[in-house]
Chain A
Amino acid sequence: MSKDRETIAAISTPLGEGAIGIVRVSGSLAFAIANKVFRDPSGQRQRELKPWGVRYGSIVDCETGEHVDEALAVAMPAPHSFTREDVVEFSCHGGVAVLTRVLETVIKCGARLAEPGEFTKRAFLAGRIDLSQAEAVIDVIRAKTDSARRLALANLRGELSTRVGRIRDNVLVLLAHIEASIDFPDEDIGVLEVKDMTERAQESVSELNELVRTGMSSRVYRDGVSVVLAGRPNVGKSSLFNALVGKMRAIVTDIPGTTRDVIDDWTTIKGVPIRLVDTAGMRKTRDLIEKLGVEAANQQAEEADLVVAVIDGSRPICDEDRDMLLQVMDKSGVVAVNKCDLESEVEEGSLIPHAGDKRILRMSAKTGEGINELEQALADLAVAEITGACENPVMANLRQLEALENAMRSMEESAHALSNSVSPDLAAIDMYEALFWLDQITGRSASEDLMEKIFSEFCIGK
């Protein structure tokens, strides 16, 4: 049987969360499989499913007869389902182990494990949803914040398409002028001067640039903000890390250099998703492993969106502190003067010249003093980072960003050509290239690559 005809199954709720998990089965065998695995509550007799009826019963291993879980089952006959195929959904208890057992049972009876995004792919192929909706579905699923979800929903309504459409129209106007001057050479039809064409092309470049930038920042919405803890060894970075993440993750000892590689974890601070990165202390070292850790730390500090520069408030500022502060000078973030439970040896005034634009906060990871202020400051900065200077952020996924960047590059090349007296009909080649990429975003043009790219983005279970 062809791959697209096979009956597929997957756990379609997030693993490890919620009291209930759903195992979804879609395809021509869905009902037959349900008949094999779904029994009455006693597990003795077969339990008939009725279209659209919710049935209570138990799931039984079809080979061993073993009771797997009790469940509610819903049957949705084709074409009135998400995939427009026969679909059965089993609502089971939410634990990973139980859900996996149910899934295994279903697979034993003839379904195969769905590939990432396969349900959505089938829904798309069945004409149930269109391309941009399909992509928005991915984004809705992946959204880590409410703002991200809002943006993804806006995409479902066509926010990105609208803005791309405006740029596309602008390029089309340019092309119309160029084409008209070519096809009607001896008619005085009032074509734009090359200088004006160049300007318009440059306008499109800046609009695309803006879109790329806001699209980039929308990735922050979706993926969260990364915050790196920087500082020389034993200033209490790991303690701060634990205080922020709220669990004992990094090993905390008194021995400097205990954290030898980069540790990171997701946490939510004041509702903002943040990837918190703890690093090896930044110091000169001969220990090879620690040295690698320090290099990784520098790299992390470089790549992170925000930095918390940690200083030991109980000791005078040393050269290593100053080096570290200099290194993160241009980054936005906070200077955290830790260990304020001990006697202070650090004057705020002496820190100011090294802090850049960063606020200086005193705290104690040990007692929890000042941690709330730190969290608030980080959340504020993260929100600023997310919204940036963009008034109208749009949600763009990697594929769309790449297309936007390609379109921008092509428009840049056309503007460059026009300003260098290259004939407009040649500059038009780059404009058509830009159009091609813009159409890839709105789904106006079909290419197999596009489809492949899109479907590899889908996540499992929906």
Chain B
Amino acid sequence: MLDYDIIVVGGGHAGCEAALAAARMGATVLLLTLGWESIADMPCNPSLGGPGKAQIIREIDALGGEMARNIDDAYLQIRLLNTGKGPAVHSLRAQADKDAYQARMREILDAEENLAVEVSHVEEILVSREGQVRGVETREGKVYLAPTVILATGTYLGGRVFIGDVSYSSGPHGQPASTGLTKILRNLRLELARFKTGTSPRIARASINFRNTKQQPGHILPFGFSFETHGTRGDQVLCYLTYTTRKTHDIIKANLSKAPLYTGAITGRGPRYCPSIETKVMEFPDRERHQVFLEPETRAGEIVYLGGLSTSLPLDTQREIVHSVPGLEDAEIVRPGYAIEYDCLVPTEISPWLEVKKVPGLFTAGQINGTSGYEEAASQGLMAGINAVLKLRGREPFVLGRSEAYIGVLIDDLVTKGTKEPYRMMTSRVEYRLTLRQDNADLRLTDKGFALGLVPEERYEMFSKRRRQIQDELARLKTTIVPGDAATTRHLEEIGTMPVQSQTSLGDLLSRPEVSYQSLAAIDKDRVKLPEDVTLVVEIELKYAGYIRKQMSQIERTQRLETRRIPRSIEYSLIHGLSREAREKLTAVDPRSLGQAARISGVTPADIVALVAYLETGSHRRKQDSGDADGI
């Protein structure tokens, strides 16, 4: 008799979503964490969302995950970014009260019926002789058995912190590192990589001269991250913006010999999109200043995070740097910035449903898979939790396509291409972002979440109502003909658009850039009051119909390759005409479809043609009939 269905190792954003999803689907789950204080911790920026990430949070919400509701309950400030651009890239971002965020998540975990949380240091993954995962063993020698284990260990795996010439074994936030697990993964013959990330110094709020900085207020919006949220909080707090100075840059240049990034002490690869201040100054010598964001970590507390000032220079240099920034002349550093190196899996070791290919039953999620970011981690946790349960039930894995969700792009990128630096989601990675918007995440995914048993009945009804409202309103606008009377014409001129010819619908009018849903209210007599989140989707669908159509045809074009499955039994070594590199890569990645195969770097169109020829001609049977006529 096994102790649990699923054991989740790690209580960060990935671990929490994994444990909750599995428990909500009815599995018995044990979550093992290094300490309650690391549950849903934000050891770097105390913020969630932003381009690419907001879409992921909305998708997590549509699939029945927790992150969106949790941040809606715990933010200090919320903003809608990219409003000057197209609707596809409008992105929410929130500053979190990180204490409140953690506290609520702990409560949610606590309240979940099928879920137990224990504080323990896992040192061993138990694997049967057949290579199937059996459970875990803690440092104290305690054994927990389960047929599936989800590793969500974050940057703790072989973690090493660097501050100037000081370096020591550690997880983030002074938590202990986990060294045993690295060895275990190696013993399982898994390929590992060493990545690096970094964080900024924290300073005391009372020591900031705010008058030398620029205020950044939050926004009042008709929605939040979760589709259950219908507005923003009134008690938002301010963030502040300031800039580095020439003096800052001089200090950095003078102290470069003490920077572990430049002395060669750090070998792990860091993310290009999130460089340390020393990297920014050295790589962009022409820039006279760099932004520094002052972000409070909690509502009541004293600690302020310095966004944009990530560094691993020695503490006294950090102090000099901080003091050279306007507003921070007298700032007191309460925690220095540092760089952290950690081990992670080469993600091509895992399948599109996040199971380690060489170890059935072992799933991985979050930073261990080479990603960076709370949202990226949470989404993988959710998918790993779902797929662990599906595996226990002998069901088909749940995999999202690149044309279905940001989460689909994220995981497909990881398992197909691998990553050479900590992987962060960006909208530019997403081919079909006009159809994968934050405003329609529920329309894309709620049905799936409901079918999985993750979206409760009540929530599904709410969703169905919204979907019906959107569909009805779209249909109404497309079929309502704009009257040609004088009053209408006058109104159209007033809102700065051309009068209509005959048979123009309200929908047609809305496709004009200068016309908004709101501005048509006066001539739209049959309009009923609808929630803003409904009219938002309606307006986008009509206004960008032309571009959406283009995108849909782009998606269709790729579907032939995407839907063409590659049999699991395929042996690439037997296929005539594949290059050696293609053979190796295809064998390692083991793609599910021709589309996925075509995305593997090093696999050329010629290789794909060879593969198509092989699959089409049913030549898996070739081996038998070859060699019969070779004699001369």
Which chain A residues have a beta carbon within 8 Å of chain B's beta carbons? Answer: 1-5, 7, 28-29, 31-32, 35, 48-51, 75, 77-78, 84, 86, 124-127, 130-131, 175, 179, 181-188, 420-426, 429-430, 432-433, 436, 443-448, 450-451
- Contact between chains at B547 and A429 (CB < 8 Å): yes
Residue B471 interfacial (CB < 8 Å): no
Tell whether, in the assembled complex, residue A31 and residue B632 are in contact, meaning their CB atoms are under 8 Å apart. yes
Q: Are B629 and A28 in contact (CB under 8 A)?
A: yes
Please state if A131 and B605 are interface contacts (CB–CB under 8 Å): yes
Q: Produce 1/0 per residue, B574-614, CB < 8 A to A.
A: 00111100000000000000000010000011101110110
- B622 in complex: contacting residue of A2, A78, A84, A444, CB < 8 Å: A2
Asked if residues A31 and B629 are in contact (CB atoms below 8 Å), the reply is yes
Which residues of B lie under 8 Å from residue A420 when comparing CB positions?
513
Closest to B426 in A: A183
Q: How far apart sit A80 and B52, CA to CA, in the bound complex (Å)?
A: 51
Q: Complex: how many Å from CA A331 to CA B579?
A: 52
B88 within 8 A of A: yes
B433: A residues at CB distance < 8 A: 425
Q: Which residues of A contact B576 (CB under 8 A)?
A: 125-126
> Which residues of B lie under 8 Å from residue A185 when comparing CB positions?
50-51, 81-82, 91
- Chain A residues near B81 (CB, 8 Å)? 185-186
Binds A, one of B200-208, B339-347, B354-362, B553-561: B553-561
CA distance A429 to B550 in the complex (A): 8
Closest to B553 in A: A433
Bound complex: CA A422 to CA B628 (Å): 64
Query: B547, A182: Cβ atoms under 8 Å?
Result: no
CB-based contact B632/A2 at 8 Å: no
Q: Is the CB of B291 within 8 A of A182?
A: no
Q: Which of B52, B85, B598, B629 contacts A446 (CB 8 A)?
A: B598
Q: Is B501 an interface residue (CB 8 A)?
A: no
Closest Cβ neighbor of A442 among chain B residues:
B605
Name the contact of A48 in the complex, choosing from B50, B605, B632 (C-beta under 8 A): B632
Judged by a CB distance under 8 angstroms, whether B398 is at the interface is no
B613 CB contacts on chain A under 8 angstroms: 4, 125
Chain B: how many interface residues by the 8 Å CB criterion? 54
Are B86 and A423 in contact, CB atoms less than 8 angstroms apart?
yes
Please report which residues of chain B, range 74-94, place their CB below 8 angstroms from some CB of chain A when the two chains form the complex: 81-82, 84-86, 88-89, 91
- Extra contacts, 11 of them, besides A127-B578, A131-B606, A186-B291 (Cβ < 8 A), are A5-B625, A28-B628, A35-B632, A126-B576, A179-B427, A184-B273, A185-B81, A186-B81, A187-B291, A422-B86, A447-B558
Near A by CB (< 8 A), chain B positions 505-558 give: 513, 544, 547, 550-551, 554, 557-558
B86 and A426 within 8 A (CB): yes
Residue of B nearest to A176 (CB): B428
Please measure, in the bound complex, the distance between the C-alpha atom of A432 and the C-alpha atom of B555, giving whole angstroms: 12
Q: How far is the CA of A183 from the CA of B82 in the complex (A)?
A: 9
State whether A188 touches B557 (Cβ < 8 A): no
Q: Which of A7, A426, A443 contacts B547 (CB 8 A)?
A: A426
Q: Which of A77, A126, A444 contacts B632 (CB 8 A)?
A: A77
Does B404 reach chain A (CB closer than 8 Å)? no
Residues of the A chain whose Cβ atoms lie less than 8 Å from the Cβ of B628: 28
From known contacts A4-B619, A51-B632, A425-B85, infer whether A183 and B428 are also in contact, taking CB-CB under 8 Å: yes
- How many angstroms from the CA of A184 to the CA of B561 in the assembled complex? 33
Residue among B551, B577, B631 with most chain A CB within 10 A = B577
**Chain B residues within an 8 Å CB radius of A447:** 557-558, 560-561
Contact A446 B551, CB 8 Å, known A182-B85, A185-B81: no
CB–CB A183/B52 < 8 A: yes
Chain A residue nearest to B82 in the complex (CB): A185
Identify which of residues 417-468 in chain B touch chain A, using a CB-to-CB cut-off of 8 Å.
426-428, 431, 433-434
Instruction: Tell me, yes or no, whether B394 is within 8 Å of chain A by CB.
Output: no
Instruction: Report how far A4 CA is from B576 CA in the complex, Å.
Output: 11
Please determine whether B609 and A433 come into contact, CB atoms closer than 8 angstroms: no
Q: Which of A124, A127, A184, A451 has the largest count of B CB atoms less than 10 A from its CB? A: A127
With A179-B428, A182-B82, A185-B82 already in contact, the answer to whether A28 and B630 are too (CB < 8 A) is yes
Chain B residue contacts of A450, Cβ below 8 A: 605
Interface centre among B577, B605, B608, B629 (most CB of A within 10 A): B605
Rounded to whole Å, the gap between the CB of B311 and the closest CB of chain A is 17
Looking at the complex, which one of B427, B577, B598, B612 makes contact with A182 (CB distance below 8 Å)?
A: B427
Query: CB of B617 within 8 A of chain A?
Result: yes
Complex contacts, A50 vs chain B, CB 8 Å: 632
